[in-house]
Structure 1
């Protein structure tokens, strides 16, 4: 084994031992065997075989290796280990960080660090007209640059309902904010009523999850605390509206009261759905839920508010 490979293996084994020093001895041995078997087949296959032999699941070993971070990425002479690291990132991007079904289950209570609880309210905003079936999510106040493209996953042209998951507090937990307080957790465009069996990150053309680092994701930026869904063919309509100051003052007032609004355009076949972002400005990912037959069921823009909660409570 070349010295660079030995050093790479040493980094991985050291990381594993550090993470599992309190009891995962079998998992460590599995990874060691994987690194030994690797040159005979491939390092990736060897690690997975060795891990599973000693009781560490392939998914768990991949996640563990992904957390090794800098040590693995510095192994320029170890493409197999870098490939394993990229694959672990892909696995992470195949599922959203929160339970989206719970997020859209009206009446679900979430606990917060200050001891208070919020209740989920689900609110229908309107039906989005997707004339081409190509969806865009973006900040409506920004010019639409050519770099902003519709998602690669498309749906048949039609009208699709958009609903919001809203956290409701009877008594505002934030000083200076009136009660009740309502903040948007997520926006969902529903394509069908089929149950979701898998999730994946929505991507634009040219975006590849295997090129991402551990702390990265693909999303869209928001500067004004508001985001929107629109059809790819409505970008020209949105651009025209961006110069109408009175329109945006009126829209802002509606969103402040109702959390979202359906905005008509000069084309009766097109509209735009706008919604407030519970965490304000930032960058937000969109997730695609798929049915058992792999057809898209929904697109969900996660606005990250509930990431700061303690999670749902049973009563």
Structure 2
């Protein structure tokens, strides 16, 4: 388990940079400059979601729905959804991690459905400085309503409350996260070593659905870049898995009372 501290200043000064397997290529759009419109004391989001029946935290699903807004840090955030293609799940075991640390990554405990499933990004559009970031990334296995959210656990981890002061997740040092099936891990890691610069060139913007050897992996930029990000499982009322979702800390939903 890792300690997690919400750094408010991450909303003010952020820089993705780099030219190697350690970082995403630099881009002027990756810099969030200071603005007088931000109120750094405004850390409790005021969220507007049309479907009030969504399971807590409502922003997980709400960010993918039209009309959702969040007021935070003195500015308004609106959301839109990007469909980035399917993820092939052949073993039922899925890894979520930073591609730089893929060689050491292990799959979640759960056996996920096998097949090809849509991956979607919820994009946060921050009004004050016209910035755009990936807020959430999810694999969607089912359209059934989610009854509850819980942490996606690795071997040896025990369940903890959603709003625990300590969380499970993965560290990011490349400004990137990914979803990939466990059986594709080793082949993908070899390809990353050889093709990093070509895969994440200046043309990379927000995501990449990369196919190889009858497998694929979906990469995406991680909110404001480096950090420690949790992944969650959404279950229906029968306990079946509906979604696997990674939260990139754009919306500070933990500060909201349930």
Q: Take 2:119 and 2:64, find their aligned partners in 1: how far apart are those partners? A: 12
| Alignment equivalent of 1:198, drawn from 139, 143, 148 | 148
Gaps of 5+ in 1: 1-94, 174-179
| Alignment equivalent of 1:121, drawn from 80, 83, 89 | 80
More helix by proportion, 1 or 2? 1
Structure with the greater relative contact order (CA < 8 A, sep ≥ 6): 1 or 2?
Answer: 2
Q: Deviations over 1:241-271 (max 9, x none)?
A: 22225x434424344x3x1110111x12x10
Q: TM-score normalized by structure 1? A: 0.58
**How far has the Cα of 1:233 moved from its partner?**
0.4
Q: Take 1:106 and 1:252, find their aligned partners in 2: how far apart are those partners? A: 31
Aligned residue for 2:230? 285
Q: Take 2:255 and 2:240, find their aligned partners in 1: how far apart are those partners? A: 32
| Alignment equivalent of 1:305, drawn from 235, 250, 256 | 250
The alignment status of 1:240 with 2:196, answered yes or no, reads no
| Alignment equivalent of 1:264, drawn from 211, 215, 220 | 211
Q: Is the 8 A contact 2:151 2:160 kept in 1?
A: no
Gaps of 5+ in 2: 1-54
Aligned residue for 1:149? 106
Q: Take 1:143 and 1:277, find their aligned partners in 2: how far apart are those partners? A: 16
The change in CA–CA distance for 1:309 and 1:252 in structure 2 (over 3 A counts) is farther
**How far has the Cα of 1:152 moved from its partner?**
1.1
The alignment status of 1:130 with 2:80, answered yes or no, reads no
The change in CA–CA distance for 1:309 and 1:296 in structure 2 (over 3 A counts) is closer
| Alignment equivalent of 1:253, drawn from 191, 195, 202 | 202
More strand by proportion, 1 or 2? 2
Aligned residue for 2:3? none
| Alignment equivalent of 2:124, drawn from 158, 167, 180 | 167
> Secondary structure of the residue that 1:237 maps to in structure 2?
helix
The change in CA–CA distance for 1:172 and 1:150 in structure 2 (over 3 A counts) is same
Q: Deviations over 1:89-126 (max 9, x none)?
A: xxxxxx86563122221332222323x32210110111
Q: Is the 8 A contact 2:123 2:135 kept in 1?
A: yes
Q: Is the 8 A contact 1:127 1:159 kept in 2?
A: yes
Q: Deviations over 1:168-187 (max 9, x none)?
A: 24x662xxxxxx42101110
Q: Which runs of 4+ in 1 moved over 4 A?
A: 95-98, 308-311
Q: Take 2:67 and 2:167, find their aligned partners in 1: how far apart are those partners? A: 30
Q: TM-score normalized by structure 2? A: 0.71
Aligned residue for 1:229? 179
Q: Is the 8 A contact 1:136 1:231 kept in 2?
A: yes
- The total of aligned residue pairs comes to 202
